[in-house]
Amino acid sequence: MAAPAMQQPSFLLANLKMDSTTKPFLQCCQELVKVIDDYPSKELHLIFPWLVESVFGSLDGVIMGWNLRFLQACSNEYNIVMDFLNPSGPMMKLVYKLQAEEYKYEIPVSFLPGPVKVSIQEGVLPDCPLLNNKLHFPLSGLQTLSLALNPFEYYMFMFASSLITPKNYPLGQHVSSLDSAYFVLVDTYLKYFLPTEGSVPPSPFTYKRGSVSPPVSRAPSVPFAGYGIHSTSLLKRHISHQPSVTADPAAQEIWRSEALLQVFVEMWLHHYSLEMYQKLQSPQVKLVLLQYRLSMSSMLCQPLTPPGSGTLDTYQEPFTPTEEHVLVVRLLVKHLHAFSCSLKPEQVSSSAHSHTSPLEELKRVVVQRFVQQKLYVFLQHCFGHWPLDASFRVVLETWLSYIQPWRYTGEKTNPQTDQNKGVPEKWSLFVQENLLMYTKLFQGFLNRVVRTDLVNVKNALMVFRVAKVFAQPNLSEIIQKGEQLFLEPEHVLHHRQHRCFLTPGHGGSFLSARQPVVTDGVFRVKSHVYGLEGQDCQYKQMFGTELRSTVLKLIQIIDQARQTAKKISDQSVEVAANNSFMSWFGMGSPDLNYTFNGGEVDDTGACVKTHEFLERSLDYLCQIFRLNAGQLSQLMATLGSGQDDGNSKQLPDCVQGENGLILTDLGRMQVINGLRRFEIEYQGDPALQPIRSYENAILVRLFFKISSLVNERFGGHMDALCSRPDFLGQLGRHYLASPEAMADGRRRSPETRLTVERNRRPRLSLRMLASYRTLLMLLLLYLFGALFSFGPMSSTLLILTGGFAYGLLSCPVWR
């Protein structure tokens, strides 16, 4: 997809392409290592795009590459691939070798994330520092724009894109695990270029004119402008940022770290829906748009069309991240927290930036400037669009990893003692600067929980995980203090214009502009909220009255689900105790609705059942929102007063519609949480229901043919017999009518009248004789008769006589 400019025919490239299809994988890699070591950069420059595509696949998904996402450690090729792509391996050596010669490689803008692609195609430079000085303007127009990336950026771009590029993998290769080659490589690159200890190893190659130059930072005189800027500013920006020959020596230490981080963040987190795209219109951009409209309104010769007018109407990216994608994002979040927490204590307290190394300065600001905004939008998109099933766990754990940076300080702690220890006060600044990550996403989680089946142990575990995290001592107080700071009136408005948080998009490389230290907590929290939600946002307090009512409703749902789960667990234990070897003959309970739903492992490694998770969740929620035992018992009493003892045997709340019963919102909640249910039964012809495991298939089919012949030949006589009002009619209805027809008082799920009438017709059914249980009972009776010297005919006559006598006694005429 990318090719060097003015590419010349390369015999080396042709030979390598031929060898890749004819020679074994190990031999191809060995020859590539020799080529990288022996050939000059001029020749390597021509094979680099092909080699990167061969490894990671093409951007359009046609070329699958080495299939890193599904390459497991048990594969013979795993070690070969890891050695070749290692940060100190041959592939990275090729990257550095080309980096020293200032080669550029093009990436079409059409393969960028949706928001970036649409903005650039409409002449708008997005808030994306990766694009600075890299846009290549063709003569054909903006629709064929491309990025000119250096070898390192190009390599990392292709590596990051391979995670989200849809590809036609062979059948059976749709499951990846945490030990795949791709996942391990992401972890390796993060640890190498963002080390928690020591510094980034230097590049083994240098420029011809000196040291390796970092990406050129934006000039301080150029103001920030994001989505919505007029297309002419794009060209002006591009010209105003021409590379300089001299580079900041301090920036050379970490330019690869910053480039890797920018590529990962832009490619993995810059995806969201249309409503998210509209929300990202910052106050600065809205001001620029207003100025543009005013300037255009004074020009009568031109129509009033705002910049990028078609963007919001035409952009709708149908992007849904996969579980593997979210797992990699969580790996990125966890490592960035560990990287940031590895900042030396003296550097944290020191305010003299001149004595701080670039890597230490990066640790100080990496989470806030590079990740916060895009991760918030990414998680909010996932919270709103992810299916309501247990797969949401990967998104949940990513969110919980971000809001708990104190877990990644490198200190080895016991989970039990760490829970009681609480959140250190020094993390209150982080909570304030990420308030929406705690409050807004918690509200989004509540909206999901009230619509999920909490009787499911995996869903109950997710509620437990969130409740346990937010119940950590001091955390709720810190969050509430942050909300109070946001609600306080702004008393430093005249200083607002001098206080501006700079993101990487605002200031390019974080080394290009130093920002003032903001000590005002009120302004810090307000800037965070308004920066992510806009100046006109309606903030809903996490500890406010409105959300408290939602929490009380959730507590009721949790308690109802807990009772249902406890009942199912107890019944499952009883069924498991009663079922023995005789269950093979059909003696056990055939009701699959009361089978044991298992348990899940909690943080301590113990197996916990569903109702236990829900009980702990109730305790944690009471701690978070300060509900005492009296309030909780009153709430549960109010809930119990509206229910009767036979609640579980009633139908869910329904209304009568044209085509039958329709569930109400209350009925849906009752079904989801197992409070009420329809008795799902086979409602067709009982003689035609599927053959069960406790029945003999041959006998079932044999007795069905016999019964069908008898019913077809004597059906009229059976109808006449069962229609008689005397004793013989009662006896005929007892033996010939189906049991389902006699159970008129049972509440079942709705069924058609035709089905009811068909099942009520009298018929002879011999299917019970095909049951292993019946056959075993008959065998025991014959053995018992043999003990008393009864022959087969005598035993058969006694069995028929006993069966007839039992029918007489159980006949309704005697009741």
pLDDT digits (tens, 9 = 90+) for 40-95: 999 999 999 999 999 999 998 888 899 898 888 888 899 999 999 999 999 999 99
Residue 641, Cβ density class (10 Å: 0-12 exposed, 13-18 middle, ≥19 buried): exposed
Determine which of 135-149, 435-449, 692-706 has the lowest per-residue pLDDT on average. Answer: 135-149
Higher pLDDT, 517 or 520: 520
Higher pLDDT, 615 or 4: 615
Mean pLDDT (whole number) for 174-181: 74
**339 DSSP 8-state letter:** H
Residues 382 and 469 reside in one and the same domain? no
> What is the distance between the alpha carbons of residues 150 and 170, in angstroms, rounded to a whole number?
33
CA 318 – CA 197 distance, rounded (Å): 40
- 303-317, 592-606, 789-803: lowest mean pLDDT where? 303-317
- Tokens standing for 427? 């993390």
Q: What angle do CA 455, 459, 465 make, to 5 degrees?
A: 125
Mean pLDDT of 709-718: 86
Residues across the chain: 815
CA distance 3 to 52: 11
**474 falls in which pLDDT band (50, 70, 90)?**
very high
- For residue 464, the model assigns a pLDDT of 95
In angstroms, the CA 564 to CA 578 distance is 21
- Give dist(CA 109, CA 83) in Å, integer: 32
pLDDT value, residue 286: 46
pLDDT computed for residue 97 by the predictor:
92
Q: Residue 78: its pLDDT value, please?
A: 93
* Other C-beta atoms lying within 10 Å of the C-beta of residue 214: 22
Q: Is residue 349 part of a domain?
A: no
pLDDT higher at 728 or 786: 786
Please indicate whether residue 107 or residue 498 has the higher confidence score (pLDDT).
Answer: 107
Average pLDDT over residues 369-386: 90
Let me know whether 62 and 26 are in one domain.
Answer: yes
Q: Please state which of the ranges 548-557, 576-585, 612-621, 681-690 shows the lowest mean pLDDT.
A: 576-585
Lowest-confidence pick of 97-101, 163-167, 293-297: 293-297
Residues 6+ apart with CB under 8 A from 261: 194, 366, 370
Closest CA to 618 of 541, 569, 561: 561
- At residue 151's C-alpha, the angle toward residues 148 and 152, to 5°, is 110
Q: Which of 276-280, 408-412, 557-561 has the lowest mean pLDDT?
A: 276-280
Domain assignment present for 243: no
Nearest to 78 by CA among 63, 65, 93, 66: 66
Binned at pLDDT 50, 70 and 90, residue 212 comes out as: very low
Does 381 lie in the same domain as 257?
Answer: yes
The larger pLDDT score, comparing residue 101 to residue 495, is at: 101
The token pair that represents 249 in the structure block: 């020596």
Query: Do 142 and 43 belong together in one domain?
Result: no
Output the pLDDT for position 207.
Answer: 47
- 3-state SS of 513-569 is CCCCCCCCHHHHHHHHHHHHHCCCCCCCCCCCHHHHHHHHHHHHHHHHHHHHHHHHH
Q: What is the mean pLDDT of residues 341-352?
A: 66
Query: Among residues 216, 194, 175, 182, which one has the least CA distance to residue 81?
Result: 182
- Contact (CB, 8 A) for 78 and 66: no
The DSSP bridge pattern shows strands 599-601 and 146-149 to be unpaired
**Distance between CA atoms of residues 95 and 77, nearest Å:** 22
In three state form, how does the secondary structure of 114-143 look? Answer: HHHHHHHHCCCCCCCHHHCCCEECCCCCHH
- Domain region containing 558: 423-490+521-577+602-643
Q: C-alpha distances in angstroms, 52 versus 14, 46, 55, 61, 115?
A: 15, 11, 5, 14, 25
63 exposure class (CB count in 10 Å sphere: 0-12, 13-18, 19+)? middle
In the predicted structure, residue 391 carries a pLDDT above the cut 80: yes
So what's the pLDDT on residue 741? 46
**Residue 365 domain-assigned (yes or no):** yes
Return the structure tokens found at 436: 């929406």
Our count of domains for the chain comes to: 5
**545-578 and 435-449 helices, crossing angle to 10°:** 50
DSSP label at 780? H
> What local confidence, expressed as pLDDT, does residue 82 receive?
95
Q: Is residue 232 a part of any domain in this protein?
A: no
CA distance linking residue 174 with residue 184, whole number of Å = 18
pLDDT band, very low/low/confident/very high, at 520 (cuts 50, 70, 90) = confident
Tell me: pLDDT of 684 over 80. no
What sign for the dihedral angle of Cα 466, 468, 472, 476?
positive
- Rounded CA Rg of the chain: 36
Q: Taking residues 553-574, what's their average pLDDT? A: 84
Q: How confident is the model at residue 139 (pLDDT cuts 50, 70, 90)?
A: low
- Say how many CA atoms lie within 13 Å of 429 toward its Cβ: 10
Q: Which amino acid is at 645?
A: D
Task: Confirm if 540 and 547 have CB atoms less than 8 A apart.
Answer: yes
Average pLDDT over residues 685-696: 83
How far, in Å, CA of 581 to CA of 807, rounded?
30
200 pLDDT more than 70: yes
Model confidence at 111: pLDDT above 80: yes
Confidence of residue 725 (pLDDT cuts 50, 70, 90): confident
Residue 235 included in any domain: no
CB atoms within 10 A of CB 320: 13
Residues 97, 113, single domain; the answer is no
Cα–Cα distance between 723 and 6 in angstroms, integer?
96
Structure tokens at 381: 């998109």
Q: pLDDT of 762-810, one tens digit each?
A: 778 888 888 999 899 889 988 988 888 888 888 888 888 887 787 777 7
Query: In this predicted model, what pLDDT tens digit does every residue of 242-280 receive, in sequence order?
Result: 333 344 555 566 889 999 999 999 999 876 654 555 555
Q: Tell me the pairing of strands 654-657 and 660-663.
A: antiparallel
Same structural domain for residues 287 and 264? yes
pLDDT at residue 130, as a whole number: 76
**Does residue 467 form part of some domain?**
yes
CB atoms within 10 A of CB 94: 25
What distance in Å separates the CA atoms of residue 341 and residue 356, rounded to the nearest whole number?
Answer: 16
pLDDT at 594 over 50: no
- The pLDDT value given to residue 446: 94
Domain membership of residue 437 (yes or no) is yes
Secondary structure of residue 10 in the 3-state scheme: coil
Residues 230-241 have pLDDT tens digits of: 333 333 333 233
Q: What is the pLDDT of residue 427?
A: 93
Q: Which residue has the higher pLDDT, 120 or 647?
A: 120
Place of tokens 């490389």: 509
Task: Report whether 773 contacts 587 (CB < 8 A).
Answer: yes
**Structure confidence at residue 127 (pLDDT):** 66
92 and 112 share a domain? no
User: Above 60 in pLDDT, residue 579?
Assistant: no
- Of 643, 674, 693, the position where a domain reaches its end is 643
At residue 28 the predicted structure's pLDDT band, cuts being 50, 70 and 90, is: very high
pLDDT at 749 over 90: no
Mark whether 382 and 449 lie in a shared domain. Answer: no
Q: Among all chains, which residue has been given the structure tokens 């930036």?
A: 353
Q: Across residues 389-396, what is the average pLDDT? A: 94
257 and 378 belong to one structural domain:
yes
Task: Report the alpha-carbon angle 806-810-815, nearest 5.
Answer: 145
Same domain for 455 and 558: yes
pLDDT number for residue 702: 92
User: What is the rounded CA–CA span in Å between residue 5 and residue 366?
Assistant: 35
DSSP 381-397: HHHHHS-SSGGGHHHHH
- Residue 604 has a pLDDT of 63
Who wins on pLDDT, 471 or 801? Answer: 471
**pLDDT computed for residue 667 by the predictor:** 79
Q: Please determine, for residue 558, whether its predicted confidence score (pLDDT) is greater than 50.
A: yes
Q: Nearest-CA neighbor of 386 among 455, 672, 378?
A: 378
Amino acid at the residue 792:
P
- pLDDT confidence bin for 591, thresholds 50/70/90: very low
Q: Do 373 and 265 fall into the same domain?
A: yes
If one counts every other C-beta atom within 10 angstroms of the C-beta of residue 239, the result is: 9
Give the list of residues 6+ apart from residue 655 with CB closer than 8 angstroms, or none. Answer: 661, 662, 664
Q: 733 in a domain, yes or no? A: no
Residues 272 and 338 in one domain: yes
Pairwise pLDDT comparison (387 vs 295), residue with the higher score? 387
- Please tell me the least confidently modeled range out of 1-10, 151-160, 634-643: 1-10
| Mean pLDDT computed over 149-163 | 94
Global confidence as pTM:
0.72
User: What's the pLDDT band for 179 if we cut at 50, 70, 90?
Assistant: confident
| Residue of 92, 101, 102, 103 whose CA lies nearest to 202 | 92
Task: Look at residue 516 in the predicted model and tell me its pLDDT.
Answer: 44
pLDDT, averaged across the chain = 75
